[in-house]
Structure 1
Amino acid sequence: MLKIVNLLFLILVVVGAAAVYDMKMSTEHLTERVAELQRQIEKEKEDIRWYKAKWSALNQPSRLQGVVDRYNAYLQLEPLGADQITTVDALPVKPVNLQPVSGDPMGGYASRLPAVQ
């Protein structure tokens, strides 16, 4: 009887050790995955910084004026006229949708929104 109990405890220890080893390996795998995702995030942030710098360089007024001067015959751009400027009151009013919207955080009704004038 004692041999059976000892054998049972030995099997439990081996199964427990295997379970702990499996948890350790999965944790290491997840740690590597997190590190890889953090590297990707840093690369994306660096790319965003590069694109913002490039956008800023491309939007320099002196560079844009050079492009306009170079391609003026093709673009046929004209200076902004005073008749092209308008007020907010002159813009057409967008109709308000009064239909219930599913997943709306305001209770499902767009009609609860304040009227736009």
Structure 2
Amino acid sequence: KIEDEDLDSNDFEHEASLLSSIRHPHIVTFYGNLDTFIYGLKNHKKKISFVQKIRILSNIASGMSYLHDRCIMHRDLKPGNILLSNELTAKITDFGLSKLYTTDSGSMTKTCTVGT
């Protein structure tokens, strides 16, 4: 549970700014601030088959790969931060702790793309 005094508008602005710059089918799309919460993977009540679990994990891996290609570290990936559609398509959410990074180690430099 998040207490009101723990909320900082700068945290929301950071997350909104980051999310508005990325588009991927397995990362939640930012449309604006919402006052309601959607239950995610952690609170999913129906039985999920092995094949469905593999598909969900594939969705998450695809989304994380997309983020890493753009030099974005999520830093808080957990079941509570995965949303599921009615069709069990996974979406990564909660970018409040995320950070942009650069890699420049010796002769290897990773090129990252930020934006759409």
TM (norm. structure 1) is: 0.22
- TM-score, with structure 2 as normaliser: 0.22
